[in-house]
Amino acid sequence: MINITLKDGNIREAENGITAADIIKGISMGLFKNSMACKIDGALCDLRTIVDKDCVFEALTFDDEDGKNAFRHTASHILAQAVKRLYPDTKLAIGPAVEDGFYYDFDTAEPFTPEIMQKIEGEMKKIVKEDLEIKQFLLPADEAIEFMKSKGEIYKTELIAEHAGKGEPISFYEQGGFADLCKGPHLLKTGAVKAFKLLSCTAAYWRGDSKNKSLQRVYGTAFPKQSELEAHLAMLEEAKKRDHNKLGRDLKFFTTNELIGQGLPVLLPKGARVLQILQRFVEDEEQKRGWMLTKTPFFAKSDLYKISGHWDHYRDGMFVIGDGEKDGEVFALRPMTCPFQYQAYLSESRSYRDLPLRYNETSYLFRNEASGEMHGLIRVRQFTLSEGHLMCAHEQLADEFKSCLELAVFMLKTLGLYEDVSYRFSRWDPENREKYIGTAQQWEEAEGVMENILGGLEIPYKNGVGEAAFYGPKLDIQIKNVHGKEDTLITIQIDQMLAEKFGMEYTDRDGSKKNPYIIHRSSIGCYERTLALLIEKYAGAFPMWLAPEQVRVLPITDRQIPRAKEITDILENAGLRCTLDGRSEKLGYKLREAQLEKLPYMLVIGDKEAEDGTVSARKRGQGDAGSMSLDEFLARAQKEVAGKIID
């Protein structure tokens, strides 16, 4: 007999050699029905695992991350089995569970069309209905390779060959004659995957490398219950309604135009207004924090970018002006401001007394992004970055880095995005040396410095190997859009290479010349991208301080127009963004429009209000907020503006 310690601390006796499944059945059949996998002494295991020693045991249901993954991973095997049944020549690549579902990559003769996807989904339903038993088996690496080779599975063979050296047996799972390389865990039978849906089919490169073959990736999601699947699909539909690329156009924040071109959005008055509000706010705040504004040119001779290394690394991504042979001079629109601001530093000789020297700029940047990479306001060819470069001595680096992060956090909190971001420590990839300048020693030093700083800040971060800039490591502040896709919103970078390249120096106390450390940082990120995320965050209903139009005055009949005009003027003079809707439409009609445009406040002016000097306020989403004096409303509105995020 062995002792099984459960999650709640209770200890159960069981036969030595009992399966995990039987342990759970012993606890409760209800729990067994909901169990996807388990943890034995903290290690993720299959329900078919045989337990032969005292252990700490935990059943994992769909509510546990690992349980959910086991469930969805099983769904991905069902997908693969269905594809192999319908298209036996298809070669299998990989098929993991991901955040909201699962995918499987296939190498197929023909790409999957929507009709084929339906057929595959139908076949998957059959496999679920057949309720096939899923069995695990192990093979020595050489036999495993032979096994996969015999089936023509070249990708699996490649994967096993990499594992072969470890001397461990290779694990497979088999269901109804379909065997797939997999370390598990998996459910016991296919019948448990009650509710699933294939969502999309796209191309994906083998091992994520664009030099490799392009495979067909089928995305799907799966849940234990149909109702959960439906709720999830409904949530996806709801998320789409917040999509800035749709909502931002509907609300007339921006538009695009074929004649102007891809990735070049036109900011309409409402969108432009929000960007203006943000820019003024950011520049003022930066000034308060000791940053000095520069305005540097939009383009420069190629020589500048050759020194910085951008010419070598990003030549294809730059808009180049002029032809060296014909025009003699070659220019390029700036893809970043770093080397321009360095010239400001270099404009006079520097001493340790000048440091830290903080330059900020609202920079217009131009990057020739590849055609498939543009997306709404999130990824564009011309954008506006709150960009800064800070030159400092080594001993100032930690404090200055911290203050840059504080600035970014302040901005995020003010915008109401703070809860939605995560941190990524973007490191270099020593396996990929050609992507970076500098020596391994320099990289280790720079990353060491940053790691120390991050450790001291106690912020939770994940490591992004290979995500560094070519000249240094980054702290990236990441955010997800409505589709769950993650992008960098704000970045803070440490650079000890470019100062050397540009010959930036300062004279230290002892008279020696030193290169300063440079922090590259953004405060609010790229304005266009931040606007996109704000539209999605607030579903277009901006908080008072950011709303392009804050108040609309709605006279009920023509009789009140003079008074409504007066009110509009008073509010405008008090600094509120206010307009008058004097059209001869019914009140309900005007209200509906203002509501759909997501205005924070509507002021209804009828005979009663016109006579006694009050306004009937209506707050967005809250209906009639009651009658109040104009002064009272003004005070309330101004308080709300000053409070920034208060909702």
Partner RNA sequence: GCUACUGUGGCUCAAUGGCAGAGCAGCUCAUUCGUAAUGAGCAGGUUGUCAGUUCGAUUCUGACCAGUAGCUCCA
Considering only residues 367-386, where is the footprint of RNA by CB under 7 A?
367-376, 379
Report how far Cα 307 is from the mean position of its chain's Cα atoms.
Answer: 32
Question: What mask, x for binding RNA by CB under 7 A, covers residues 11 to 50?
Answer: ----------------------------------------
Interaction between residue 609 and RNA (CB under 7 A): yes
Q: Tell me the three state secondary structure of residue 254.
A: strand
DSSP codes, 290-357: T-EE----SEEEHHHHHHHTHHHHHGGGS-EES-HHHHS--EEE-S-SHHHHHHHHTTS--BGGG-SE
Interaction between residue 200 and RNA (CB under 7 A): yes
Interaction between residue 535 and RNA (CB under 7 A): no
Instruction: Report the residue from 508, 608, 631, 632 that binds RNA according to the rule CB under 7 A.
Output: 608
Q: How far apart are CA 131 and CA 152, in angstroms?
A: 27
What count of other Cβ atoms lies within 10 Å of the Cβ of residue 213? 13
Nearer to RNA, 84 or 381 (CB): 381
Question: What mask, x for binding RNA by CB under 7 A, covers residues 115 to 154?
Answer: ----------------------------------------
Instruction: Report the residue from 27, 523, 616, 641 that binds RNA according to the rule CB under 7 A.
Output: 616
Sign of CA pseudo-dihedral 303, 308, 310, 312:
positive
Contact 482, 522 (CB under 8 A): no
- For 360, phi and psi rounded to 5 degrees? -125, 160
Question: What mask, x for binding RNA by CB under 7 A, covers residues 228 to 247?
Answer: ---------------x-x--
Nearer to RNA, 7 or 483 (CB): 483
Least Å distance between CB 572 and RNA? 21
Interaction between residue 270 and RNA (CB under 7 A): no
Least Å distance between CB 584 and RNA? 3
Q: How far is CA 226 from CA 30, 192, 233, 517, in A?
A: 18, 12, 11, 57
- Residues numbered 161 to 180 that lie near RNA (CB under 7 A) are none
Q: How far is CA 320 from CA 287, 324, 338, in A?
A: 33, 10, 18
Interaction between residue 338 and RNA (CB under 7 A): yes
Judged by CB under 7 A, how many residues of this single chain contact RNA? 79
- Residues numbered 446 to 505 that lie near RNA (CB under 7 A) are 469-470, 483-485, 487-488, 493
Interaction between residue 623 and RNA (CB under 7 A): yes
Interaction between residue 335 and RNA (CB under 7 A): yes
Q: Which of 462, 379, 469 is nearest to 422 (CA)?
A: 462
Stretch that binds RNA, among 65-73, 126-134, 215-223, 511-519 (CB under 7 A): 215-223
Instruction: Report the residue from 422, 579, 627, 638 that binds RNA according to the rule CB under 7 A.
Output: 627
Q: How far apart are CA 309 and CA 619, in angstroms?
A: 53
Q: Which of 535, 531, 526, 576 is nearest to 251 (CA)?
A: 535
Nearer to RNA, 365 or 412 (CB): 365
Reduced to 3 DSSP states, what percent helix, strand and coil does the chain have, rounded to the nearest 5? Answer: 40, 30, 30
Longest dimension (CA), the chain: 93
Nearer to RNA, 125 or 246 (CB): 246
Nearer to RNA, 224 or 472 (CB): 472
Interaction between residue 266 and RNA (CB under 7 A): no
Instruction: Report the residue from 152, 261, 324, 430 that binds RNA according to the rule CB under 7 A.
Output: 261
Q: How far apart are CA 137 and CA 174, in angstroms?
A: 8
